[in-house]
Chain A
């Protein structure tokens, strides 16, 4: 439920400070409230206390599976919170890791997977799919 008077709030977690800066900048300019974190631990703490309108997690932060853990945590707290996972797995390994079958969809709790390296401008288009104001 988005309050009409309040700006939608987006949570971003990524360990690349420049990516945070850029995506945060673009999203704020597009009219969103943005909270950014560069590690899994702080993001988890934030989630306990706040419910954003959308969460964007980088898959690999201080751990290789930080994004999965955060997505799981977020969905457990707020089942309807849309979650976007950013991964560079395909570019790096040449393997398509998107959860193709029902089995993996059940345990990987994300609504959308985006390849890292997308420009922040392009990410906005996806963000708008989830937050319709």
Chain B
């Protein structure tokens, strides 16, 4: 059981011990909380004493009477605000000073319990406050984790962009100081290499733009009847020159038409990525087979290659951002490491799924399932 530390600040010992007794036996449960929450009670007779306890015992909640001998409740509340202490305050006030209670909630008290209160009223108030505190903490934690993921993403991104920049800079410096001689031809290889790195960087930036558009939800989506086979054929055509260079044969199988309500651009991105991967990571003289089918209420698209394959361990990393499988076979193949993670995100928009089956050395098969609404 998780314990919340509760400090009761009241100059009347009877009220202090009464509240302590009621709450120390009280437990708050909530369907979506992993654990029940109980209360560990502390007491203070004056505001000054309370402030000392704030710093030593760090209570989560303070039940605060306004009428105190030295500094009053409002002053204690102001102290909490000024020092940005993470303490939730519940005022204990008599009905006569309702105005004061309102003032207190305006300057940051969570709620108030009017005196005199029944044990039931006290428990109900505490239950509300506990749930509020619980949700607040969950939100804080989620924000923090979100920031953490963002930070890791940016670290990797800056690395991926910095590497090509420094290579190109290196070549330019070599040219500037005429390292290879005075004739331009001496620098042909450096120029070709520079252009290759710049292309890679541009692809990364384009992929990144796609990703941010999807993430921000700002990419305008246009859902209309789209023939996936046609989209795939166009992608394969665009990949033609590379396939010829690699001597890879791209073939189609299964349905000759597969029409779904979808955003054609998104489908094009998905097909481009899968088909270009199947060509890039293939072997000379290899094959790519793109198969379309319908099973029950699903559209099935398979992109199968006879390439280098992916180990079990690497398969689990494949759909993460910036994951590029590093091996001797892949080291000369360029890629942003974003393609498949974007494919996965796009498919999420359709409640679709993608799985990979692969045997290293034999090839991989990426299978997409898209639900078809039979309206």
Interface residues of A (CB under 8 A from B): 15-19, 21-22, 25-26, 29, 38-39, 41-42, 61-62, 88, 92-93, 117, 119-121
A26-B167 contact in complex given A62-B326, A119-B173, C-beta closer than 8 Å: no
* B155, closest chain A residue (CB): A92
B82 on the A face (CB < 8 A): no
Q: Which residues of A contact B173 (CB under 8 A)?
A: 119, 121
Interface residues of B (CB under 8 A from A): 155, 158-159, 162-163, 166-167, 170-171, 173-174, 179-180, 189-190, 193, 197, 326-328, 331-332
How many residue pairs between the two chains, A and B, have CB atoms under 8 Å in the bound complex?
48
Q: A88 CA to B166 CA in the complex, in Å?
A: 13
Q: A105 CA to B71 CA in the complex, in Å?
A: 59
Q: Is the CB of B197 within 8 A of A18?
A: yes
- In the assembled complex, the CB of B371 is this many whole angstroms from the nearest CB of chain A, namely 39
Q: Which applies to chain A's interface (DSSP): helix, strand, loop or mixed?
A: helix
Q: A61 CA to B158 CA in the complex, in Å?
A: 18
- In the assembled complex, the CB of B157 is this many whole angstroms from the nearest CB of chain A, namely 11
Q: Which of B171, B326, B328 contacts A18 (CB 8 A)?
A: B171
Among B170, B174, B189, the one with the most A-chain Cβ atoms within 10 Å of its Cβ is B170
Q: Is the CB of A92 within 8 A of B174?
A: no
Q: Is the CB of B179 within 8 A of A25?
A: yes
Q: A117 CA to B164 CA in the complex, in Å?
A: 11
Q: A19 CA to B173 CA in the complex, in Å?
A: 13
Q: Which residues of A contact B193 (CB under 8 A)?
A: 17-18, 21
Q: Which residues of A contact B159 (CB under 8 A)?
A: 88, 92
A117-B328 contact in complex given A18-B171, A25-B180, A26-B179, C-beta closer than 8 Å: no
Q: Is the CB of B170 within 8 A of A18?
A: yes
Q: A39 CA to B329 CA in the complex, in Å?
A: 11
